[in-house]
Amino acid sequence: MARIQIKRVYDPAEEADGTRILIDRLWPRGIRKETLKLDGWPKELAPSTEARREFDHKAENFDAFASRYRMELDTSDAARAYIEVLRTQRPQTLTLLYAARDPQINHAVVLKRWLDERLGD
């Protein structure tokens, strides 16, 4: 199945990125839509507004946020449908683009693990 990687949306696009999707609910600040190399923006994969607010990008809130976000993904028909799209399209590389500053404590880390588990990587 696809190799899934995460990358800040502010980092330059590379050929090795493969299929690039924005996984933030809101458009990232300072990025012009016409200049971002993007293959999709499945907002249904982003955490809920409530989950984002509770997390507030604080390390001490991350475990609770990750649990809540995984539960949101597990109960989302749209997220399950996106899994089927990935199984059908079979991209070699899928790059999850996010705007958060911390590369270790953000929703992209949680989503990557969730996708890896469902896609068998």
What pLDDT shows up at residue 2? 77
9-32 per-position pLDDT tens digit: 999 999 999 999 999 999 999 999
Asked if residue 46 has pLDDT above 60, the reply is: yes
Distance (Å, whole) CA 63 – CA 51: 12
Domain ranges of the chain: 3-119
Beta strands in the chain (DSSP E): 3-8, 19-22, 93-98
3-class SS of residue 79: helix
Q: Tokens 């933030």 correspond to what residue?
A: 24
What pLDDT shows up at residue 120? 81
Contacts for 116 with CB less than 8 Å, ≥ 6 apart: 4
